[in-house]
Chain A
Amino acid sequence: MSGPALLSIDGITKAYPGVVANDDVSFAIQPGEVHALLGENGAGKSTLVKMIYGLVRPDSGSMAMNGAPYAPAEPRAARALGVAMVFQHFSLFEALNVAENISLGMENPPRQRDLAKRITDVSEAYGLPLDPFRLVGDLSAGERQRVEIVRCLLQDPKLLVMDEPTSVLTPQEVEILFRTLRTLRDEGTSILYISHKLEEIRALCDEATILRLGKVVGNCDPRETSAAEMAEMMVGKSLAAPARDSAEMGKVVLKVSGLSVDPATPFGTPLRHIGIELHAGEVLGIGGVAGNGQDELLAALSGETPTAPGSVTLNHEPIGNMGPNARRALGLLCAPEERLGHAAAPDMSLVENALLTARMRKGLDRSGFIDWQATRAFATEVIETYDVRTPGPDNAARALSGGNLQKFVIGREIMQDPKVLVVNQPTWGVDASAAAAIRQAILDLAQNGAGVIVISQDLDELLEVADSFTALNEGRLSNVRATGGLTMETIGLMLGGAHDMHEPDKEALHAEA
């Protein structure tokens, strides 16, 4: 490839208090190339992308587009020069419709009616059907991503930046997305593709730049590099896969039957006829694309959303109408997805956060008066056992990194010796070594006879830890299948809500067994 690069990045550095997000980063994106930016959580990918899009300015270093200096002061300037971005956390407005959302991301949007026409045209041309007048709040995660992509396409971008685009898609939807991206590349659009998923990058990208702790640690052609080589560059050391012995499954500890819950918010997901049988020693993985009822299911299990008494039973005791603390007393513990604000109070110390869920089982109060000494001892124990990196138990929860806080949250529940543990997205936004530690802790817990439900959007994680697998789609659960022998295609169909597979499913299960 001769001629100037479409975008060249030269010695970019950006520091935040206590962390250098990008340290002397350089690489170049050629015209018509799908360029991967690979790195694990916290490697500095998002910061770099924000600088390219004009949301953050670098401390030093420079960028050039087609040879001319490129320093966008704001996203508008970046867009004017042909840079478009699909965000990891969608930059969408739930109460506005698709056309309004798209219009907001454009410099000179046409009239609403003309725009609607163009949306329909473009979305069909690229195989991403969209109704311009639907409220975004009513769309699935995959459809929302389409909105973002169509918004970008309408501006004829020269460079399309995609930040972790597949994390919310089913395998089938990923295929469609890749087809679209390849079409775009063939039309001459460059794509900067940010991900930590190696197989995807090998399937799609022409060139890869690997970041670790803010620095470029390597470049490669992903089509000719093995996933293992890239993984080692990305993580810096090879991580041991979690070990487990095939545990004996005991009797049913948690049973959910006919659980239906109406949504609490206008854009929430209803739960419909959920049925689960969890055995002692079993790890049940619940997959599903974001927004298909994961939060609602966790709330119904934790007791935040009470239901009919018999719809949830723990060791044959009906608990559906009990609150969180009554369930904890009986041994059902939960760790929600959102660490800051749900599993933990951001501004409270770790001691206070230990009290949050451990009061019942650890006996941390006497007739309402808190035993702070015992609480502190418990918090310290969690910190030491789970290697939570913090100056001390008096530090505020929000001062911890995502991985350390998650280790604290999971550790806090496991150290209460649960009979059943339900976790949602246990390793989301957590660095690789913390993620490995958390998965190992979950397996150890099951080994010791507890039933564990892992709700996750990370299929690799579920295949790694779960004995059995089911998928959540629009508030319904598919049939439970043993994890061994599941193909990506079957999983994809389950995630996509192919509920009509019932009968063949059972046969397949028998055939496997």
Chain B
Amino acid sequence: MFGIDPITLIVALVTVSTPVLLAAVGELVVEKTGVLNLGVEGMMITGAVMGFVVAVDTGSPTLGFLAGMASGAALALIFGLLTQLLLSNQVATGLALTLFGLGLSALLGVGYPGLTPPAVADPFPDALSDLPVVGPILFGHSLVIYLSVLLVAVVWYVLGHTRAGLIIRAVGENHDAAHALGYKVIRIRLMAILFGGACAGLGGAFLSVVRVQNWVEGMTAGAGWIALALVVFASWKPWRALLGAYLFGGVTALQLRLQAAGVDVPVEILSMSPYVVTIIVLVIMSSDRSRAALNAPAALGKVFHATG
């Protein structure tokens, strides 16, 4: 159909999805502790620029990824201090983080557009990647892609099957009760916020270093917001976040292919399709009242202030 090879489409889908997936899994954990961080876009773009800058300057993509994570976490720390210690409004602070991140990243990236990042090593021997059909789909990706899937599995396991996960869910469900039982609500939330920031930063770094292989101002183009939407779509369940991310990646990859194939649909209509699809999915999910309400952390977005 339109001369699009399904195998390359799947490969593209996975690459396109990974930044959003990483950010979404991080935010999912944050929201599970009852914190709504709307600054994902800001942390992602800062991760993108820092990852790119460090990868280019050091020649090491790995250091780039680490820099992306560190810078995402650093921005998240600001959010954490403001919302957890200074009790600021989470919505406003998240927006501030995004606005600040967009400005900061543009500033840090001055002089970098057009440079080429170092190539990312293929963790598997060529022989595997050369296998028909499964080769290009399963092998030959950046290690970060495998890491992202592994991360989903780890988050799923920890949240659902460990004591740490139980405590995280408890804090997000009722912070006053968790406090009364002696759990350190603020400390747990700060750690989750840092984790979310590192994930978003890694997603951003992957976007600039691996997927686009360039730095462009504002290059995340709403990916952070889509990650936030994915968390709602996933009803705060990690595997469904993966599904959602790949669905979004599929739409994006397909519309890019269709643009390239010169299909008789205006380019603008194609390029707005990922956003429109995200909105439609959000509507479908939120209209199912009972289920969405059951899974949403009950304390989401509420300010916690221990009295006495």
Contacts of B308 in A (CB 8 A): 16, 47, 50, 55-56
A512, CB-defined interface residue at 8 Å: no
Q: Is B177 a contact partner of A92 (Cβ separation < 8 A)?
A: yes
Residue in A16, A79, A93 whose Cβ sees the most chain B Cβ within 10 Å: A93
For A92-126 the 0/1 string (1 means CB < 8 A from B) is 11111000100111000100000000000000000
B182, CB-defined interface residue at 8 Å: yes
Q: Is A94 a contact partner of B166 (Cβ separation < 8 A)?
A: no
Q: Is B180 a contact partner of A103 (Cβ separation < 8 A)?
A: no
For A355-371 the 0/1 string (1 means CB < 8 A from B) is 00000000000000000
Contacts of B169 in A (CB 8 A): 93, 95-96
B41, CB-defined interface residue at 8 Å: no
Q: How far is the CA of A265 from the CA of B294 in the complex (A)?
A: 9
Contacts of A266 in B (CB 8 A): 290, 293-294
Q: How far is the CB of A354 from chain B (nearest CB, A)?
A: 27
Q: Is B182 a contact partner of A54 (Cβ separation < 8 A)?
A: yes
| B residues in contact (CB < 8 Å) with A | 163, 166-167, 169-170, 173-174, 176-183, 290, 293-294, 298, 308
Q: How far is the CA of A75 from the CA of B182 in the complex (A)?
A: 5
Q: How far is the CB of B287 from chain A (nearest CB, A)?
A: 16
Contacts of B290 in A (CB 8 A): 266
Of A16, A90, A100, which one neighbours B166 at CB under 8 angstroms?
A: A100
Q: How far is the CA of A55 from the CA of B184 in the complex (A)?
A: 12
Q: Is B173 a contact partner of A96 (Cβ separation < 8 A)?
A: yes
The chain B residue with its CB closest to the CB of A74 is: B182
A197, CB-defined interface residue at 8 Å: no
Q: How far is the CA of A74 from the CA of B184 in the complex (A)?
A: 10
The chain B residue with its CB closest to the CB of A93 is: B173
Q: Is B177 a contact partner of A90 (Cβ separation < 8 A)?
A: yes
Q: How far is the CB of A226 from chain B (nearest CB, A)?
A: 35
Q: How far is the CB of B201 from chain A (nearest CB, A)?
A: 30
Q: How far is the CA of A95 from the CA of B182 in the complex (A)?
A: 19
Contacts of A16 in B (CB 8 A): 308
Contacts of A433 in B (CB 8 A): none
Interface size on A, residues (CB 8 A): 25
Q: If A75-B181, A104-B181 touch, does A92 touch B293 (CB 8 Å cutoff)? A: no
Q: How far is the CA of A87 from the CA of B178 in the complex (A)?
A: 12
The chain B residue with its CB closest to the CB of A109 is: B163
The chain A residue with its CB closest to the CB of B173 is: A93
Q: Is A265 a contact partner of B293 (Cβ separation < 8 A)?
A: yes
The chain B residue with its CB closest to the CB of A50 is: B308
Q: How far is the CA of A103 from the CA of B163 in the complex (A)?
A: 9
Q: How far is the CA of A79 from the CA of B182 in the complex (A)?
A: 10
Q: Is A104 a contact partner of B170 (Cβ separation < 8 A)?
A: yes
Q: List 10 A-B contacts (CB under 8 A).
A: A50-B308, A55-B308, A56-B308, A75-B180, A93-B170, A93-B178, A95-B169, A95-B173, A100-B170, A104-B181
The chain B residue with its CB closest to the CB of A101 is: B170
The chain A residue with its CB closest to the CB of B293 is: A266
The chain B residue with its CB closest to the CB of A85 is: B180
Q: If A92-B174, A95-B298 touch, does A55 touch B167 (CB 8 Å cutoff)? A: no
Q: Is B293 a contact partner of A91 (Cβ separation < 8 A)?
A: no
Q: Is B180 a contact partner of A55 (Cβ separation < 8 A)?
A: yes
Q: How far is the CA of A105 from the CA of B182 in the complex (A)?
A: 9
Q: A75-B181, A94-B298, A266-B294 are in contact. List 20 more A-B contacts (CB 8 A).
A: A54-B182, A55-B179, A55-B180, A55-B182, A75-B180, A76-B182, A91-B177, A92-B174, A93-B170, A93-B173, A93-B178, A94-B174, A96-B173, A100-B170, A103-B166, A104-B167, A104-B178, A104-B181, A104-B183, A105-B181
Q: Is A104 a contact partner of B173 (Cβ separation < 8 A)?
A: no
Q: How far is the CB of A350 from chain B (nearest CB, A)?
A: 23
Contacts of B178 in A (CB 8 A): 93, 104
Q: How far is the CA of A91 from the CA of B173 in the complex (A)?
A: 11
Q: If A55-B308, A266-B290, A266-B294 touch, does A91 touch B180 (CB 8 Å cutoff)? A: yes
Q: How far is the CB of B195 from chain A (nearest CB, A)?
A: 21
Q: How far is the CB of A149 from chain B (nearest CB, A)?
A: 15
Of B166, B181, B298, which one neighbours A91 at CB under 8 angstroms?
A: B181
Q: How far is the CB of B303 from chain A (nearest CB, A)?
A: 13
Q: How far is the CA of A96 from the CA of B168 in the complex (A)?
A: 12
Contacts of A92 in B (CB 8 A): 174, 177
The chain B residue with its CB closest to the CB of A57 is: B308
- Complex interface residues of chain A between 1 and 52 (CB less than 8 A to chain B): 16, 47, 50
For A263-296 the 0/1 string (1 means CB < 8 A from B) is 0011000000000000000000000000000000
Q: How far is the CA of A95 from the CA of B293 in the complex (A)?
A: 10
Q: How far is the CB of B90 from chain A (nearest CB, A)?
A: 18
Q: How far is the CB of B235 from chain A (nearest CB, A)?
A: 12
Q: How far is the CA of A91 from the CA of B176 in the complex (A)?
A: 7
> 3 closest pairs, A vs B, by CB?
A75-B182, A91-B177, A91-B180
Q: If A16-B308, A50-B308, A100-B166 touch, does A95 touch B180 (CB 8 Å cutoff)? A: no
Q: How far is the CA of A100 from the CA of B166 in the complex (A)?
A: 7
Q: How far is the CA of A74 from the CA of B180 in the complex (A)?
A: 9
Contacts of A104 in B (CB 8 A): 166-167, 170, 178, 181, 183
Contacts of A55 in B (CB 8 A): 179-180, 182, 308
Contacts of B179 in A (CB 8 A): 55
Q: Is A95 a contact partner of B166 (Cβ separation < 8 A)?
A: no
The chain A residue with its CB closest to the CB of B295 is: A95
Q: How far is the CA of A104 from the CA of B168 in the complex (A)?
A: 11
Contacts of B167 in A (CB 8 A): 104
Q: How far is the CA of A388 from the CA of B91 in the complex (A)?
A: 37
Q: Is B177 a contact partner of A93 (Cβ separation < 8 A)?
A: yes
Q: How far is the CB of A113 from chain B (nearest CB, A)?
A: 13
The chain A residue with its CB closest to the CB of B183 is: A104
Q: Is A93 a contact partner of B180 (Cβ separation < 8 A)?
A: no
The chain B residue with its CB closest to the CB of A73 is: B182
The chain B residue with its CB closest to the CB of A51 is: B308
Q: How far is the CA of A104 from the CA of B174 in the complex (A)?
A: 12
Q: How far is the CB of A195 from chain B (nearest CB, A)?
A: 19
Contacts of B177 in A (CB 8 A): 90-93
Q: How far is the CB of B146 from chain A (nearest CB, A)?
A: 31
The chain B residue with its CB closest to the CB of A107 is: B182
Contacts of B163 in A (CB 8 A): 103, 109
Q: How far is the CA of A87 from the CA of B174 in the complex (A)?
A: 14
Q: How far is the CA of A90 from the CA of B178 in the complex (A)?
A: 11
Q: How far is the CB of B281 from chain A (nearest CB, A)?
A: 22
Q: How far is the CB of A426 from chain B (nearest CB, A)?
A: 25
Q: How far is the CA of A104 from the CA of B177 in the complex (A)?
A: 10
Q: How far is the CB of B18 from chain A (nearest CB, A)?
A: 31
Q: How far is the CA of A93 from the CA of B298 in the complex (A)?
A: 9
Q: How far is the CB of B286 from chain A (nearest CB, A)?
A: 15
Contacts of B174 in A (CB 8 A): 91-94
Q: How far is the CA of A92 from the CA of B169 in the complex (A)?
A: 12
For A487-500 the 0/1 string (1 means CB < 8 A from B) is 00000000000000
Q: How far is the CA of A265 from the CA of B293 in the complex (A)?
A: 8
- Complex interface residues of chain A between 447 and 469 (CB less than 8 A to chain B): none
The chain A residue with its CB closest to the CB of B289 is: A266
Of A47, A95, A105, which one neighbours B294 at CB under 8 angstroms?
A: A95
Q: How far is the CA of A93 from the CA of B180 in the complex (A)?
A: 12
Q: How far is the CA of A70 from the CA of B308 in the complex (A)?
A: 19
Residue in A54, A96, A104 whose Cβ sees the most chain B Cβ within 10 Å: A104
Q: How far is the CB of B239 from chain A (nearest CB, A)?
A: 19
Contacts of B182 in A (CB 8 A): 54-55, 74-76, 79
Contacts of A90 in B (CB 8 A): 177
Q: How far is the CA of A76 from the CA of B166 in the complex (A)?
A: 17
